Structure 1
Amino acid sequence: MNTTAATHLRSIALHWADLHEAAGAPTQYGAFGLGLRGYLARLDQADRDEFNYDRNHAAHLRSLERDPIQLGERPVPVRLHILDTMRAVEAALVHCADDIAHHVQRAPIAGPTARRTAVAPYRTQREADIAAADRARRQQLAHADLVDPRRWRYTGRRTASHAALWLLARIERKPGPCRRLTDDEEQRIGNVAAGAAARVERALDIAAQQRTLSTPCPDCGGAVDVHGGEGRTPVAHCTGCGKIWAESGVIAA
């Protein structure tokens, strides 16, 4: 079993509701960003995004004011980058589940066919009753297999969390109308799960991150690493001279 893939899929399913809440929550500026200058640029970009959204939303509300039947609460501003993350993650997971199900999920059990009694009549009523009971049993089994909640469906409930849990069941070799995954299929699910989980963690800022800036230290020319994530304000650290920067300036030299 691919335990790393299982962890990523559980994380996605667990935090999907958090993404829904975050999509409508006020923007918070304690996330990792792209270094200190990227952090400031991120603030400016967030301001522009909110301004554009408010402007477009205001125009939409003005159009509604012309129609007296349009009543109700105003929609709250949304965090567009969260929605983009949710769309990308959901599309990737659902597509992966579609493809895996196409290869590993068996077709539903076929229902019984009616006997043509005009051509082959039953010899006794008891034989007819036994045949009818057998058809009913086989029809019940076929229906139960068709509506089995462990079966992946190509219509209806196709959410990211449902896809993550269905793929998790395949990784963990849970019982269901599917054969066991091959190593290549497990690897593919693992790759998709890793990418999706990373997107979710970045959007919610729940993972510690570290990146190296392209610009070297102005004092010694050494590489500058930026540490952040998990809701923390990013801090830059020169691996050469040891100088440390925060948004407020140099905090150690």
Structure 2
Amino acid sequence: MTTTATHLRTCAIHWTDLHEAAGQPAQYGAFGLGLRGYLARLDQADAEQLEYERHQAAHLRSLERDPMQLGDRPTPVRLHILDTMRAVEAALVHCADDIAHHVQRAPMAPPRAQRAAVARTRAERLAWEDRARQIQQAKADLVDPRRWKYTGRRTAPHASLWLLARIERAAGPCRRLTDDEEQHIGNVAAGAAARVERALDIAAQRRTLSTPCPDCDGAVDVHGGEGRTPVAHCTGCGKIWAESGVIAA
């Protein structure tokens, strides 16, 4: 069973691959490019996709930016790759914002400002040293690299790795996730990883079509992915189709 951690790692590891693929010519024969008439009818409204699309819609305004800010690319640019990157990044960053709002504690408050004074006794010297430590701890807590920040580095890989740390209960200024919060991250991560894998064609895929076999009304499965030419197979009469037509009956 694929885990949430695996999905988050997929997004982080393959982000550079998406950048590189954005400027490459389209690859024909990949799953989803052939058999367009069948694949266009696939039902995408599963629970994970619905959760993912909800996050994408919530951040539609944040997507109103120049897609080329994702990096300079030679022309022609593969726009569907850029669209995938924008959607995945928005969903993961928004998920991290939401989770951090609930589980991340506020930065430590530094001690109140005091007028400078000369320590005359050992007790006063210890008190000033303790105050200096508190100030240093507050500063370190504020810039803790394990803390999710709402400005600065807000990228898909960074959000993926921060959410992964929360799933794996790594140390940091955060409480432990609840079951609902883990499920929330899992839904978003699964949708994001699926989009990354589809864009790069790196995962084997199987879909059952909504349109039945024209000969026997049996269910038709489409197999493909991993760079293979997609093939449709009727589970009723056994007929097999490829892009070139019927190859077995």
Question: What is the count of residue pairs matched by the alignment?
Answer: 218
- Which one of 161, 183, 189 corresponds to residue 157 of structure 2? 161
Question: Does the C-alpha gap of structure 1 residues 192 and 40 become closer, same or farther in structure 2, counting only changes over 3 Å?
Answer: closer
Q: In the alignment, which residue of structure 2 is the partner of 1:79?
A: 78
Q: In the alignment, which residue of structure 2 is the partner of 1:199?
A: 195
Q: In the alignment, which residue of structure 2 is the partner of 1:7?
A: 6
Question: Does the C-alpha gap of structure 1 residues 39 and 217 become closer, same or farther in structure 2, counting only changes over 3 Å?
Answer: closer
Q: Give deviations 1:221-253, integer Å, cap 9, x for gaps.
A: 322221111111011112122121212222222
Q: In the alignment, which residue of structure 1 is the partner of 2:225?
A: 229
Question: Does the C-alpha gap of structure 1 residues 180 and 198 become closer, same or farther in structure 2, counting only changes over 3 Å?
Answer: same
For 2:221 and 2:157, the matched residues in 1 are separated by 34
- Asked if the contact 2:9–2:160 (Cα under 8 Å) also holds between the matched residues in 1, the reply is yes
The alignment partner of 1:242 has SS state of coil
The alignment partner of 1:113 has SS state of coil
Q: Give deviations 1:109-152, integer Å, cap 9, x for gaps.
A: 111223357xxx87825444333322221111111111110000
Q: Give deviations 1:193-219, integer Å, cap 9, x for gaps.
A: 111111111111111112233443333
- Which one of 143, 157, 170 corresponds to residue 139 of structure 2? 143
- Asked if the contact 1:223–1:239 (Cα under 8 Å) also holds between the matched residues in 2, the reply is yes
- Identical columns (%): 83
Greater radius of gyration (CA): 1
- Asked if the contact 2:11–2:196 (Cα under 8 Å) also holds between the matched residues in 1, the reply is yes
The alignment partner of 1:233 has SS state of strand
For 1:7 and 1:217, the matched residues in 2 are separated by 35
* Structure 2: unaligned runs, 5 residues or longer: 41-71
The alignment partner of 1:237 has SS state of strand
For 1:202 and 1:133, the matched residues in 2 are separated by 57
Q: In the alignment, which residue of structure 2 is the partner of 1:46?
A: none
Question: Does the C-alpha gap of structure 1 residues 161 and 37 become closer, same or farther in structure 2, counting only changes over 3 Å?
Answer: closer
For 1:123 and 1:175, the matched residues in 2 are separated by 37
Q: In the alignment, which residue of structure 1 is the partner of 2:32?
A: 33
Q: CA deviation at 1:74?
A: 8.8
Q: CA deviation at 1:21?
A: 0.8
- Asked if the contact 2:146–2:172 (Cα under 8 Å) also holds between the matched residues in 1, the reply is yes
- Asked if the contact 2:38–2:211 (Cα under 8 Å) also holds between the matched residues in 1, the reply is no
* Residue type at the aligned position of 1:171: I
Q: Let me know the Cα RMSD of the aligned residues.
A: 2.5
Write out aligned runs for 1:152-191 (5 A): 152-191=148-187
The alignment partner of 1:136 has SS state of helix
Matched, 1:108 2:107: yes
Q: CA deviation at 1:103?
A: 0.7
Question: Does the C-alpha gap of structure 1 residues 234 and 168 become closer, same or farther in structure 2, counting only changes over 3 Å?
Answer: same
* Structure 1: unaligned runs, 5 residues or longer: 42-72
TM superposition score normalised by structure 2:
0.79
Q: CA deviation at 1:19?
A: 0.8
Question: Does the C-alpha gap of structure 1 residues 123 and 32 become closer, same or farther in structure 2, counting only changes over 3 Å?
Answer: closer
Q: CA deviation at 1:39?
A: 7.9
- Asked if the contact 1:32–1:205 (Cα under 8 Å) also holds between the matched residues in 2, the reply is yes
TM superposition score normalised by structure 1:
0.78
Q: Give deviations 1:144-176, integer Å, cap 9, x for gaps.
A: 111110000000000011001000000000000
Question: Does the C-alpha gap of structure 1 residues 37 and 74 become closer, same or farther in structure 2, counting only changes over 3 Å?
Answer: closer
Write out aligned runs for 1:14-53 (5 A): 14-33=13-32, 36-38=35-37
